Every structure is written in structure tokens, then in C-alpha cells.
Amino acid sequence: MPILPIYPYDAQVLREETKAVDAPSEELTQLIVDMFATMHLANGIGLAANQVGVGKSLFVVDLSPMEGYEEQKPLVMINPEITDMWGDEINLEEGCLSVPNVREEVVRPEKLHIRYRDANFEPQELEADEFLARVIQHEYDHLEGIFFTDYLRGFRKRLVMPVLKKIRRGEAEVDYAMANDAAVVK
Ligand code: ZN
């Protein structure tokens, strides 16, 4: 199970919209296995394919390390499409393996409905709320080239900019492997 390097803030592959997965393949299955291994090693709870440099439309989520979510099964969402979002606008702190050492509050809707294909490429749909809805929205944004820090405004944004620049330069202090090649960052 190779551990894949995680691409940092503003890497080109993380700013481009990802492409749909056409069909299941051994390569896809291996990518999913590697993504889970990479995410677990970095103590993450969600990881999008473009965070490991693959511009495809899929992400993995595993909330089971979190208190209260021990029974939550790991999810693979291929070609996901959020079809509806509703409920209260919730303010919650987020972090990201591509944006190490930054935690900021982001406002997002409480609930969503999503269609996707699972690891067997079977069509699925899910209604999610609370923390699961939050993580899904964060990962879904990655597939469209959006970082949670893009939502910051004003003072918060000014405070975080120097840290983001440091991450882009490959100077973030992390205890997992990051792709650290100037060529990956535009
Ligand atoms: Zn992220």
C-alpha cells in the first residue's frame, strides 16, 4: 500500500476541476486503497484524489476515528453530485491535509443530498447532516478546485495569507509526506 505524497495549497492539480471517472479499473481500486492508507497515516478524515495529484472526481471519507462516529463506515464517493443543500447555515472549524496547521471557521449548510458511485462503481445516494455533511462539502469543493480558505474574508484572510504562502513554498511543518516540488505549484 503505497503512501502518496499530499499536494499542498494552490498546487495546479488542486485548482483545476477534476474529470469524471469513466469506468472501474484495477488502477482505480488501487488508488482508493492508497488514498485510505495515505489519509489514515496523516490522521485525516477526508481526502480528495487531486490532493494526491490525481485529477479525477472522487474522494474518500472515514469519520470513525472521531468521537460519536465510531460506527460510521468509510465512504468512497466517485463522480459525486450534490443535488440539494438545506438546513441552518452552520459555522464550524475546518482543517485540510493540503493546508497544514491552518484551522478556520467556515459557514456551510447543515444538510445535503448527494448522488455518487461507490467503490464497486454502483450508483448510490445519501442524505447527510452534521459533521458528515461538513466533510463531504469540504471534499466536494476540492474536486471543483476550491479550498476552505477561499471562503475567508477581511481580517481572517489577511492573517492566514502568510501561512498559505509558506505552505506553497513547501515550508509547512508536517509529519506526513507532501509533494514538495516547485513545479506542482503554479
Ligand atoms: Zn481539504
* Cα–ligand 1 centroid distance for 150 (angstroms): 12
Band of residue 28 on the pLDDT scale cut at 50, 70, 90: very high
pLDDT in tens, 89-122: 999 999 999 999 999 999 999 999 999 999 999 9
> Does domain 12-168 match CATH 3.40.50.300?
no
The vertex-7 CA angle with 173 and 183, nearest 5°, equals: 100
| pLDDT at residue 184, as a whole number | 54
Q: What's the mean pLDDT in 60-85? A: 96
pLDDT in tens, 154-176: 999 999 999 999 999 989 999 99
Main-chain phi, psi angles of 10, to 5 degrees = 75, 10
| pLDDT at residue 61, as a whole number | 98
| pLDDT at residue 142, as a whole number | 98
* Cα–ligand 1 centroid distance for 141 (angstroms): 8
Band of residue 181 on the pLDDT scale cut at 50, 70, 90: low
Neighbours of ion ligand 1 (CB under 5 A): 96
* Cα–ligand 1 centroid distance for 64 (angstroms): 17
Q: What's the mean pLDDT in 29-55? A: 97
**Catalytic positions:** 139
Band of residue 139 on the pLDDT scale cut at 50, 70, 90: very high
Spans of all domains in the chain:
12-168
* Cα–ligand 1 centroid distance for 71 (angstroms): 23
Residues of the chain above pLDDT 70, percent: 97
3-state class of 169 per DSSP? coil
Residues 102, 103, 105, 109, Cα dihedral to 10°: 100
Chain centre distance of CA 102: 14
